[in-house]
Amino acid sequence: DTGVSQDPRHKITKRGQNVTFRCDPISEHNRLYWYRQTLGQGPEFLTYFQNEAQLEKSRLLSDRFSAERPKGSFSTLEIQRTEQGDSAMYLCASSYLQKNPQSDEKLFFGSGTQLSVL
């Protein structure tokens, strides 16, 4: 499978614990996004990377959330001291962005990690 893969698919944790999710993008893609999705809502932007550089982190995201993409390939999203409100589907997406000639920002999503905080 050459699509975007995420691990784990499901994570159940107790409030206050730390969790880490992994995303492996499509290999030639230089952009990687993290979104959060709750039931009945659209994907909410969390952060994104161009190669290994983190371009932006949502202002709505607390300091408990951190993401890395150390070698410009896979990425990890860590949530420290989880809260019940963190329960959601965490989606990763990747794309190939080229400025000249300009490419389309076609996002390819992974299957997500469903987090449940008890």
Partner 1 sequence: GENVEQHPSTLSVQEGDSAVIKCTYSDSASNYFPWYKQELGKRPQLIIDIRSNVGEKKDQRIAVTLNKTAKHFSLHITETQPEDSAVYFCAAMETSYDKVIFGPGTSLSVIP
Task: Summarize as ranges the residues that interact with partner 1 (CB under 8 A).
Answer: 33, 35, 40-45, 48, 55-56, 91, 97, 104-112
Q: Rounded distance, CA 50 to CA 48, Å?
A: 7
Please identify, using beta-carbon distances, which residue of 15 and 105 lies nearer to partner 1. 105
Please identify, using beta-carbon distances, which residue of 50 and 80 lies nearer to partner 1. 50
- CB count within 10 Å of CB 51 equals 13
Q: Which two tokens stand for residue 31?
A: 């952009």
For residues 94 and 29, is the Cβ–Cβ distance under 8 A?
yes
Task: Supply the minimum distance, in Å, between the C-beta of residue 117 and partner 1.
Answer: 20
Please identify, using beta-carbon distances, which residue of 23 and 82 lies nearer to partner 1. 23
